[in-house]
């Protein structure tokens, strides 16, 4: 009953994660108001203020971000830093000033140092510089954690900071210019199969490991934190499941039925060597655990993409 009669603004509510969060909130009885880029440019202070005045939220869930894979981060580091900082720091400040009851900030796994002991524990967040390919993005998001803790300390403002691992699922971004690894590989395999190609090229050497969280699970974690978590210590959201990029590519080849070969391009960057989260804090603090098994989630994502291509 927590969300009944609660007005919840979701920034980026029409995005991949946003649509899932909106559905989850609506199922809980919340009045959901979407602050998307068609109506508000959150890099502009006047648009932030207008969004808060027009929607009068009790809770703000801030999902809007400039995001992309390694290639996009390398090509646009200045934009990734500026846009993420300027749509986040003023939004939290104005939310506090306008009397918002709670602010849920979404960070990123890219906040962690490049060489973090595995599994990543929230207490290791400040023990080094992030991986260079996405440091501008990661550090811009990390400033929300600093701000969240500072505003709780000085003003008693109830804001929380969550760090989801790489997300995937139906409705993901499959644009090759800025997609992440799972949609990029699915698109390559399905398109190559349809074209009759005998191979696909994959970035790096396949040795890095990653952890992935199904998007509907991530939405559940965010909504549980909005409902139950009231501290400014950062919290990981993950599945605690680790897979190498090589194994991932081979699994996607199998699930898409692509009969060709994988050719690795070691001249392209690998990104961070390993990523796997310690997910105990989310379970202890607000009862979140991921539910969707990885292969099942991949199948659903592939089915969605194949169906989308058919239309």
Active site positions, annotated: 137
- Residue 85, Ramachandran bin (φ over 0: left; ψ between -120 and 50: alpha; else beta): alpha
For residue 18 the two structure tokens come to 């946003």
Say how far apart CA 273 and CA 208 lie, in whole Å: 5
CB 38 within 8 A of CB 233: no
User: What does each C-alpha distance from 186 to 2, 69, 121, 286, 287 come to in angstroms?
Assistant: 39, 15, 30, 33, 32
Residue 235 near residue 161 (C-beta atoms within 8 A): yes
Using alpha carbons only, give the angle 104, 32, 160 rounded to the nearest 5 degrees. 5
Residues whose CB falls within 8 Å of the CB of residue 152, separated by 6 or more in sequence, listed in order = 158, 159, 232
Say how far apart CA 28 and CA 60 lie, in whole Å: 16
């Amino acid at each position: 009953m927590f969300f009944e009669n609660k007005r919840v603004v979701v920034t980026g509510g029409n995005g991949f994660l946003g649509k899932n969060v909106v559905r989850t909130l609506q199922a809980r009885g919340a009045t959901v108001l979407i602050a998307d880029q068609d109506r508000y440019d959150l890099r502009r202070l006047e648009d932030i203020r207008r969004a808060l005045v027009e929607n009068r939220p009790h809770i703000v869930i801030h999902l809007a971000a400039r995001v992309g894979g390694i290639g996009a981060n390398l090509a646009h580091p200045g934009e990734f830093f500026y846009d993420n900082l300027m749509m986040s720091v003023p939004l939290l400040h104005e939310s506090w000033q306008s009397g918002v009851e709670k602010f849920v900030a979404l960070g990123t796994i890219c906040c962690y140092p490049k060489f973090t002991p595995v599994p990543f524990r929230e207490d290791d967040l400040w023990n080094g510089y992030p991986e260079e390919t996405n440091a501008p993005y990661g550090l811009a998001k990390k400033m929300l954690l600093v701000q969240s803790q500072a505003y709780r300390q000085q003003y008693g403002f109830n804001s929380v900071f969550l760090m989801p691992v790489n997300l995937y699922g139906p409705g993901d971004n499959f644009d090759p210019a800025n997609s992440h690894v799972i949609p990029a590989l699915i698109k390559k395999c399905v398109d190559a199969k349809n074209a009759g190609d005998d191979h696909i090229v994959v970035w790096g050497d396949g040795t890095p490991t990653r952890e992935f969280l199904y998007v509907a699970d991530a939405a559940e974690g965010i909504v549980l934190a909005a409902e139950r978590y009231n501290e400014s210590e950062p919290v990981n959201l993950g599945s605690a499941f680790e897979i190498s990029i090589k194994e991932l590519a081979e699994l996607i080849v199998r699930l898409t039925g692509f009969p060709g070969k994988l050719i690795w391009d070691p001249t392209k960057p690998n990104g961070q060597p390993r990523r796997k989260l310690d997910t105990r804090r989310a379970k202890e603090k607000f009862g979140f655990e991921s539910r969707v098994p990885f292969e099942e989630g991949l199948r659903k994502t592939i089915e969605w993409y194949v169906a989308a291509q058919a239309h």
